[in-house]
Amino acid sequence: MAVWPPLSAAQRITLAIDDLEAPGFSARSLKATLAGAGTRELRLELGTVTIHGRTWRNARVHCRRLVLEKTAIACADAVIDVGEKFPISFTYLTRAKALDVTLKPAAGEEWRLRATFDRPEPEIDITVDHGRLARLAPWLPAGVPQVSAGTVGGSMVWNGAHGVTARLDVEGFAFSDKSGLRAGEKIKGRISLDAQESGGQWRWRAGVEWLEGEVFWQPLYLRGAGHEISAEGAFDAARVEIRDGRLKFAAIGEAEFGGVWDRRSGAVANGSARTGKLEGDALYLQVLKPFLAGTALGDLRMEGGVEIDARIENAQLASLELKLDKFSVEDIGRRFGLFGVNGRVPWHYSEPTQADLAIEGGEVLRLPFGSVRLPVAMRGLRFALDKLEVPLLDGALSVNDFRTISASGGWRWRFSGGVTPISMSRFTRSVGLPTMHGTLSAVIPEVRYGESTLAVDGALVFKIFDGTVVAKNVKLIEPFGKAPRLTADLDVRHLDLELLTRTYSFGNITGRVDARIEGLELANWQPVKFDARVASSPGEYPRKISQSAVENISALGGAGAAAAIQRSFLRFFEQFGYERLGLSCVLRNNVCEMSGIEDAPYGYVIVKGGGIPAISVIGYNRRVDWQELIRRLKRIMQDNVRAVVQ
């Protein structure tokens, strides 16, 4: 509480008012005292003052040299105390009914109010020069971020007959909230507003230029670099109408918008937005990516042009049209990509439409495909494609009867199709596998996707290495997630071993094999569980195995026959006959429990000799660390590297 000096003379005039109220203003316990020589010293005490919800207690004004004349009341060097003291000056012209108040809280900072009351509708003009924005913090509603820095300059004029006009420049503006999820700093911009009230409705025009600074508004992080927004419209107690809205987003593009906001429901009742050509890379990085974090679309590379035309009717999206110009999008992890997309997608909520997109090429899980055209039929949230032929390496993928719909559990879709013969050497190089020979073809029964899981009804049938692979119970969970999971059972029949081994330093094996892999589980495309067994196919066919293949098979199963070859006359032979071969692995907890076609003393038989010369390979390690087994395989598969026997 301030301590006031003693009055300078005995002459004293006191005026006391218990209550004083006006729209947006109220005061309690007012007391004004004129004292001193010629009653030139003014002390004004206010118990409480409330202006638009903000209350001050024990506010005081002290003027030592009050000018009190017939036509004017003025003080050039008063002090106001509202918990903090500021210099203040004021003049009131009694005939003109004009008030002029100037507040100078700090050097170079000035807030000035001019008001006239000589007409039916008063006019109030506020000008600010280097005003500290932090002083406005007490006036802000609870729950909004708090202002911490910055200055404002400009003017605001309120006229009962002509409404409100404001022109403000903001510099160095900073704000934040307690959670840290909404913050900004070093913001520079301009604000303009013109509004007029008529018959209970306000008509307005507004504009904002954001020139510099940074804002983080979870999840968006934006930099000011010449962004602009302007609009006009009207509002009343029930709704806010926006007309002729224009948004310029630097480095991205421009848009026009308008609509009606229902203030009671808190939703857009009707609206529209139309963009010019938007730059895809900036649009994704600055606007889309923060909202897509943690999804399959959270880490993309995007380029090309996008145009958007959207309409909302009765508080729901009624239509959305996309135009793509040389548009490309690619997952950084190369899970999928579309390149050179051109065309139009005219979606409508209730009317049938058809998209027409031309794609120059793309890839799925590193497997490239060629140019394709997509004539997708659409109606609401139902999409259909009767037949599609996708060039895939030197073959093709056919998709038949593709159907998709959005349901309560998310998107669901299904299709069937097949794969015409594809070169295995090209396929394996594309997906990063060791080079294999032969061709791959497949029949694809119905494939369904729902609740983030892709499942195959029936069996996938592949032709590979002159044999057949049948995949059953195939499920792919979170196929485009960070760590997709695959489960399946595989039945392999009559694979040609010579095709499988001809290009490896593994060595040459002639013959046929069958394989059974049950309970296969892959996590992020790495095996974590399976029961696998590979064995010679029944029937008559040549059965030969090279010395290098014997050495490398021995390296997988443990030290044994390979050492014997080096010490005996058998090392002079390049090939040996065999009767049967086989190996099994049960993978659990990163450990492979291994066995062969039959038991042997202290081990298991991997290759059982037959013919002249013949050789048998015995494995001795029953439990092998899976990662160690993979390392052995990688060493064996490297060209010109001999197997390491452990």
Residue 5: cis peptide before it, omega within 30 degrees of 0: no
The encoded tokens of residue 458 equal 């029936």
The encoded tokens of residue 603 equal 């081990």
Which tens digits make up the pLDDT trace of 101-156? 899 988 899 999 898 877 777 788 999 999 999 887 776 777 788 899 999 999 99
Q: Which of 77, 95, 113 finishes a domain?
A: 95
**pLDDT over 90, % of the chain:** 35
Give the number of other CB atoms < 10 A from CB of residue 300.
21
Q: Which of 78, 95, 112 finishes a domain?
A: 95
Give the residue ranges of DSSP H helices in 261-344: 280-283, 289-292
pTM for this structure?
0.72
Burial group, residue 622, by CB count within 10 angstroms (0-12, 13-18, 19+): middle
Per the structure, the count of domains in the chain is: 2
Burial group, residue 552, by CB count within 10 angstroms (0-12, 13-18, 19+): buried
pLDDT of residue 5: 46
The encoded tokens of residue 428 equal 């394996």
Give the residue ranges of DSSP H helices in 239-369: 280-283, 289-292
> In the predicted model, is pLDDT for residue 634 greater than 90?
no
The answer as to whether 642 is a domain residue is no
Neighbouring residues of 627: CB distance < 8 A, sequence distance ≥ 6 = 590
> In the predicted model, is pLDDT for residue 40 greater than 90?
no
The answer as to whether 91 is a domain residue is yes
Within 13 A of 156's CA, how many CA atoms are on the CB side? 14
The answer as to whether 277 is a domain residue is no
pLDDT of residue 412: 86
The answer as to whether 617 is a domain residue is yes
> In the predicted model, is pLDDT for residue 306 greater than 70?
yes
More confident: 409 or 440: 440
The answer as to whether 486 is a domain residue is no
User: Cβ distance 375 to 401 under 8 Å?
Assistant: no
Per the listing, tokens 């926006």 go with: 242
48 pLDDT band (50/70/90 cuts)? confident
The answer as to whether 132 is a domain residue is no
pLDDT of residue 211: 94
Helix (H) or strand (E) holding 267: strand 267-275
Look up the domain containing 25 and give its range: 1-95
pLDDT of residue 1: 35
> In the predicted model, is pLDDT for residue 14 greater than 50?
yes
User: Cβ distance 7 to 13 under 8 Å?
Assistant: no
Calculate mean pLDDT across residues 222-238.
91
Neighbouring residues of 631: CB distance < 8 A, sequence distance ≥ 6 = none
pLDDT of residue 391: 93
The encoded tokens of residue 329 equal 């999008």
Residue 136 per-residue DSSP state: G
Q: Taking the chain, what is the end-to-end CA distance rounded to the nearest angstrom?
A: 89
The answer as to whether 14 is a domain residue is yes
Which tens digits make up the pLDDT trace of 361-390? 999 878 889 999 999 999 988 999 999 999
pLDDT of residue 428: 76
Spatial distance between the Cα atoms of 635 and 625, rounded to a whole number of angstroms: 16
Residue 434: cis peptide before it, omega within 30 degrees of 0: no
The answer as to whether 259 is a domain residue is no
Which tens digits make up the pLDDT trace of 334-369? 888 999 999 999 999 999 999 999 999 999 878 889
Which tens digits make up the pLDDT trace of 594-623? 898 888 888 888 888 877 777 778 888 888
Residue 209's nearest CA partner among 244, 246, 239 is 246
Which tens digits make up the pLDDT trace of 516-552? 999 999 887 788 999 999 999 998 888 888 777 777 7
> In the predicted model, is pLDDT for residue 639 greater than 50?
no
Q: Which of 75, 95, 115 finishes a domain?
A: 95
Per the listing, tokens 């349901």 go with: 407
> In the predicted model, is pLDDT for residue 9 greater than 70?
no
Spatial distance between the Cα atoms of 2 and 58, rounded to a whole number of angstroms: 9
Per the listing, tokens 């050492």 go with: 563
